[in-house]
Amino acid sequence: MIVSRQKPIEDILSSLDGCRSVFLIGCTKCATVCKSGGEEEVWQMQEELLAAGIEVTGSLVIDEACHMLRVSRDLRSKQQMVDDADSILVMACGAGIQSVSAATSKKTVAALDSLFLGNIRRFGQFEQKCSLCGECILTQTAGICPVTACAKGLLNGPCGGMDNGRCETDQESPCAWAEIFERLQKTPQSCDLESYRPPKNHGKVPKPGKLKLPK
């Protein structure tokens, strides 16, 4: 899931400077789980905007704000409320915000910062495990991603700063490469850590990413 966090209300109000009315959008998926843009947060935002003297013409919590067709359809169902607003405040990840900006000519304001693709450790605790590099090497690294878990993203580790299995950048954190070796010792897997792994060819994963499934 995409982990996101609400921007400080002062920043949001500053972005809305000059807007007297706003239409609010949240998302039922990741932003709801992160408690940054679900029903409850949209309701709280409405209260804060009203307290700041900004009218809320309406709100919508979309089932997957990153789904562009759904966003267009849902916005059409609230057309009058959207038309009445000076701008649209979106409480969804960057993908969701852009679904909205693509569906309307209104000023679109981002209420959240999108942080990372996260695993859920437990309720309210998220951890980045994958950096979406496009060329997964987990098979060679005992299922632990050094691109993400190593502070330097080293494909060949550990670095000289590793200290007793801890990372030189943060003594509280384990060295990802120490963990990889440890795990391989416990459960030998057919991978070759002796060989040098060349740098990733980022040209193979052009930006912006696109994928079209065959029909």
Fill in the DSSP letter of residue 203.
Answer: G
Of 135, 124, 161, 133, the C-alpha closest to 35 is 124
Of 105, 109, 48, the C-alpha closest to 75 is 105
For 167, the token pair is 């990372």
Q: Which is nearer to ligand SF4, 9 or 154 (CB)?
A: 154
Q: Which is nearer to ligand SF4, 50 or 136 (CB)?
A: 136
Stretch that binds ligand SF4, among 29-37, 67-75, 106-114, 156-164 (CB under 6 A): 156-164
Stretch that binds ligand SF4, among 61-69, 164-172, 189-197, 207-215 (CB under 6 A): 164-172
Residues 172-201 that bind ligand SF4 (CB under 6 A): 175-177
For 134, the token pair is 């496009």
Contacts with ligand SF4, 116-155, as mask; x by CB under 6 A: --------------xxxx--xxx------x-xx-xxx-x-
Query: Per rule CB under 6 A, is residue 167 in the interface with ligand SF4?
Result: yes
Rounded (10°) angle between helices 68-76 and 94-103: 50
Q: Which is nearer to ligand SF4, 38 or 146 (CB)?
A: 146
Fill in the DSSP letter of residue 78.
Answer: T
Please give the Cα distance from 28 to 42 (Å, whole number).
11
Of 110, 101, 109, 31, the C-alpha closest to 63 is 31
Contacts with ligand SF4, 3-42, as mask; x by CB under 6 A: ----------------------------------------
Contacts with ligand SF4, 81-120, as mask; x by CB under 6 A: ----------------------------------------
Single out the residue of 95, 155, 159, 184 in contact with ligand SF4 (rule: CB under 6 A). 159
Name the minimum Å distance from CB 47 to ligand SF4. Answer: 39
The bridge status of strand 170-174 relative to strand 166-167 is antiparallel
| Alpha carbon separation from 142 to 180, 185, 186, 190, 198 (Å, rounded) | 6, 10, 10, 9, 18
| Alpha carbon separation from 76 to 70, 72, 165 (Å, rounded) | 10, 6, 56
Residues that bind ligand SF4 in the complex, under the rule CB under 6 A: 130-133, 136-138, 145, 147-148, 150-152, 154, 157-159, 161-162, 167-169, 175-177
